[in-house]
Structures are given as C-alpha cells and as structure tokens.
Copies of this chain bind each other. A is one copy, B any other.
Amino acid sequence: MEAAIAKSLKAGGKKLTRARKAILAVLERNTLPITVAEVHAGLVKAKTDVDLVTVYRNLAMLQELGLVNAVGFQEGQMRYEVVHGRAHHHHIQCRGCGKILDLMLCPLKKLTKLIEEQTRFSVDGHALEFFGWCPQCR
C-alpha cells in the first residue's frame, strides 16, 4: 500500500479499510484495466471476502478521488485501473478475442487547447480507445 494513496484517502475523509486495501492490491497487481467482476474474483482468490456491492461502491469512490481510472471499451461495462505511479495513456482492444494492450502515449494535449478555445468548455478529460484485430485473430 502506497503512502500516497493512504494520504489521498484521508484527505477525502475516507477510512483505510480491509476491503479497500484488498481492492487496491488486486488492481495494482493487474497491469491492464479489469472489470468489477474480475476485481471481485481477485478478492475471492486472495481469500479476502468482500461483497460485490462493496467493490462497486469503492471503485466509484476511488474514481472520484482520482486514484482509479475507469476505461470503457464498448462491452457494456467499465474496466478499472490504478492511476498512481502510471503515466496517462490509452488502450487498444481486439474485436476478436478482447485482448487489451496499453498504449503508452497521448496525442491530445495540443488538440485539447484548441477544443477549449473553439467550444468554450473547460476540458478536464478524454477517453481514447482503439479497436482492431490482434495478430492471432486477424
């Protein structure tokens, strides 16, 4: 458990519970974004029994605190990955097998400025995912 995370939680008036430690541990040992069900399965496997609803509530909370990132691929559900210690980046998913890769890049800094000028929105985030066919499924 990173000290920085404990600090963020405290700053948000949140407690550092058994369930939260375990959820963060599951997320940290997964490089790629995983579903709520996969987080829950990870908890069960680690013999840390946490109700599924607690997983939902904590992922939502961790996302609000900015400790966890939600990624949507068009699967009808979100996936989650830890933010701490990892650079902002994007993903690609295979339409055949669903495999996901990290893409450690982001081309959107300049464009964001342009969009802010053109729309008068203040832009505070974006979602960029690629889709295609991996070598095995091609």
Contacts and interface: CB of A to CB of B under 8 A. Distances in A.
Interface string A102-129: 0101011001100110111111111111
Given A74-B70, A74-B72, A108-B107, A92 B123 contact: yes
Contacts of A131: 123-127
Main secondary structure of the interface of A (DSSP, over half): strand
Copies in the complex: 2
B134 A121 contact: yes
Interface residues of A, number: 35
Contact of A119 (B78, B101, B107, B128): B101
Contact of A133 (B115, B121, B135): B121
A115 B130 contact: yes
26 contacts: A72-B74, A72-B127, A74-B78, A74-B127, A92-B123, A95-B124, A101-B119, A101-B121, A103-B118, A105-B111, A107-B107, A107-B108, A107-B111, A115-B130, A119-B134, A121-B130, A121-B132, A121-B133, A123-B130, A124-B131, A124-B133, A126-B129, A126-B130, A126-B131, A127-B127, A127-B131
